[in-house]
Amino acid sequence: MLTNSRAAYHDHNHQRCIDAALDRARDLCSQQGARLTPLREAVLHLIWTSHRPLGAYAIADLLPAATGRKALAPTVYRSIEFLLDQGLIHRVASLNAYIGCPFPGSRHSELIMICRACGTAAELSADSVDSALSDVTRRAGFFMETQNIELLGLCPGCRGEGGPS
Amino acid sequence: MLTNSRAAYHDHNHQRCIDAALDRARDLCSQQGARLTPLREAVLHLIWTSHRPLGAYAIADLLPAATGRKALAPTVYRSIEFLLDQGLIHRVASLNAYIGCPFPGSRHSELIMICRACGTAAELSADSVDSALSDVTRRAGFFMETQNIELLGLCPGCRGEGGPS
DNA sequence: GGCAAAAACAGTATAATGTAACAAAATGGG
DNA sequence: CCCATTTTGTTACATTATACTGTTTTTGCC
């Protein structure tokens, strides 16, 4: 089981998350011959500002302060498309928002846990889920190619505050 | 394992799907004291026209022919909200579209298989997936409340036509 | 049936998200 | 340096969804 829930849901030095994500992104892009331009890196950086999914227009609003250049929707969406293609971010369909992938490059199925109280999202990859899904879909005659699993609930912190034990 | 993939992905008498869905809807609503008005029933009927998720504006376009009255976005969305609340339909977030729930009322986790070739969607519920998800999320300290699982791939029919074996 | 309260519906306007199309600028290889 | 390619800027617009106001319909109660 691979997850970034420890970091996402607990106090941590978030700067290390950011640094690690940007380092991995630079490495992966240079390996792939993909160009992580300043704009794309700035968008990735903004998405990694927190562990909460960020919308495209929020990115557009934040970019000027981060880069000094204003950015309109198509520019932002192009960067998002690039980052999605490289597997550096994920789209959270139920929120129309985007979140940094904590383990890009490694072959993994994405499963996103979203706290309905604080909005924090963590990613998790587990063979047990993969095999259960492969098994049942195969039995249904369906050839599964990609998964989009978004789970809503309460993170450890918000569960304690008046939530269920 | 509970699924409507047999019907959705193979030749079948679809009128029976529609009739069964509407019957179940009427039963459930009368049990719940919810009012399945003509408009709401018409929207549900339209969504059940096929096993392909249908968008809200497509519903709005189709309603006049189906009911004789024109319907604007807010009207459609209100009916959709009602049907979602009753568990009679599901929202497919990755498509911004809505699909009829083949087994409403029964407590089940929803898992939607979407064929990327023909757009047909089937629903599946399996304890093995539920328990795998419960297990891994619990280990991550996350209290899962609702699931949104959308799987993209190829249905039995489209897999045969030039797709993978 | 008549009436008050609640629910459902209609309509206008607008917000939020996303894309098409084309122009301008930057990049990198000859 | 020059050209082809890629990236970014800009305008316009498409799609999805909601806030809000007022009207109609339904419901429960007498």
User: What are the sequence ranges of the domains in chain A?
Assistant: 2-160
Q: What is the spatial distance between Cα B23 and Cα B38, in angstroms, rounded to a whole number?
A: 14
Burial classification of residue B68, based on how many CB atoms lie within 10 Å of its CB (0-12 exposed, 13-18 middle, 19 or more buried): exposed
> Averaged over B40-59, what is the pLDDT?
98
Which among A135, A139, A151 has the least Cβ separation from residue B147?
A: A151
Percent of chain B with pLDDT over 70: 98
| Model confidence band, residue B165 (pLDDT cutoffs 50, 70, 90) | low
The pLDDT assigned to B161 comes to 72
The pLDDT assigned to B110 comes to 86
| Model confidence band, residue A110 (pLDDT cutoffs 50, 70, 90) | confident
Structure tokens at B93: 């977030």
The pLDDT assigned to B160 comes to 80
The pLDDT assigned to B163 comes to 54
User: In this model, does residue B162 exceed pLDDT 90?
Assistant: no
Percent of chain A with pLDDT over 90: 92
Cross-chain Cβ contact B135/A122 below 8 Å: no
Q: Give me the amino acid identity at A37.
A: T
Write down the CATH number for the domain with range A2-160. Answer: 1.10.10.10
E runs forming strands in A10-160? 89-92, 97-100, 111-115, 121-125, 143-154
For the stretch A3-41, pLDDT in tens is: 999 999 999 999 999 999 999 999 999 999 999 999 999
For the stretch B6-16, pLDDT in tens is: 999 999 999 99
> Averaged over A109-137, what is the pLDDT?
95
The residue of chain A with its CA nearest to that of B5 is: A140
E runs forming strands in B13-165? 89-92, 97-100, 111-115, 121-125, 143-154
> Averaged over B51-62, what is the pLDDT?
98
Burial classification of residue A138, based on how many CB atoms lie within 10 Å of its CB (0-12 exposed, 13-18 middle, 19 or more buried): exposed
For the stretch A63-87, pLDDT in tens is: 999 999 999 999 999 999 999 999 9
The pLDDT assigned to A160 comes to 80
Cross-chain Cβ contact B142/A156 below 8 Å: yes
State the nearest residue by CA to the C1' of D15: B57
| Model confidence band, residue B44 (pLDDT cutoffs 50, 70, 90) | very high
The residue of chain B with its CA nearest to that of A154 is: B143
> Averaged over A136-142, what is the pLDDT?
97
